[in-house]
Amino acid sequence: MDFAYSPEDIAFRDELREWLEENLPKFLADWGGDEDLPSGAVRSSVSRSQERRKDWQRRLNEGRWAAINWPQEWGGREATPEQNVVHAEENARVRAPGIYNANGIWQIGPMIIKWGTEEQKQRWLPGILDASEHWCQGFSEPEAGSDLANLRTTAVRDGEEYVVNGQKIWISTAHLADWGLFLLRTDPGAIERGAKHEGITAFIVNMHTPGIECRPIRDIAGEELFNEVWFTDARVPADWNAFSARRCAFDSCAFFVLTRSSPAS
């Protein structure tokens, strides 16, 4: 197998390297110290870090470097696996900052692009890409960490909405997020009947919805990045039920693939 980079990969590296050499020093100068914070930026370490990442992602997006795997029509570059390696190498070489919407850029956005409706794409992708809206991802629960199929937070259909009750835990940046992708149980009886891999659906959730409470968890460094998220009769529109979760097996590992939901879900 030939692992040599193609001319296209080399051109990709050259363009990225040139962009970083021009833009990263300007960014670092703007964020050099607390006394140099942009006007209106907050000074707590977590908040400052997030503001810094937001600014960097916006600059990346202006150069079409924020979401290299996205389609060109959505500001991406449709990067090959080799170009992803190049991208990682070049960012590591210059110790570039992380991005603001990592969950949105690398996981949630691509799922919306592949399985979402056109309306969903138009509604949510721009805010993920330009860092104007922060996203979190809610899977883990107190009784469903390594065994994700054991999740018990329910979403029960009530007309044109789902009523959500339960608890998630260890949800990174949930208290900062505007939106989140959450796995919820739309078949509350599945665990009891021994079919816990059935009836799990992925919902896009507005984190400002009444009935949703984020409780930050202070870590050993004194920071508050992780959260408990509590749902108490929170109502989510039925058309935000974007995907259903299906169990797949690969060798000895079990994992989840998000696929198109049935209309009745």
User: pLDDT, tens digit, for every residue of 94-150?
Assistant: 999 999 999 999 999 999 998 888 888 999 999 999 999 999 999 999 988 788 899
Same domain, 97 and 168: no
152 shares its domain with 237: yes
At 1, list the tokens: 């197998």
Say if CB 111 and CB 243 are below 8 A apart.
Answer: yes
If asked whether residues 121 and 12 sit together in one domain, one would say yes
Residue 141 lies in a domain: yes
The single residue listed with the structure tokens 């070049």 is 90
User: Is residue 2 assigned to a domain?
Assistant: no
* pTM confidence score: 0.81
C-alpha 140/C-alpha 45 separation (Å) is 25
Domain boundary among 98, 129, 160: 129
Does residue 116 lie within any of the structural domains?
A: yes
Which of 93, 110, 129 terminates a domain? The answer is 129
Closest to 254 (Cα-Cα) out of 185, 173, 171, 196: 196
Instruction: Give 56-80 pLDDT, tens digit per residue.
Output: 999 999 999 999 999 999 999 999 9
Quick one: what percent of the chain has pLDDT higher than 90? 70
Burial of 229 (0-12, 13-18, 19+ CB in 10 A): buried
Q: Which pLDDT does position 146 carry in this prediction?
A: 83
Please check whether residues 51 and 144 belong to one and the same domain.
no
Domain membership flag for residue 254 = yes
Q: What is the pLDDT of residues 204-237, one digit of tens each?
A: 999 999 999 999 998 877 777 799 999 999 999 9
Domain count, the chain: 2
pLDDT tier for residue 24 given thresholds of 50, 70 and 90: very high
Residue 47: pLDDT band by 50, 70, 90 thresholds?
Answer: confident
Return the axis-axis angle of helices 81-93 and 7-30, rounded to nearest 10°: 30
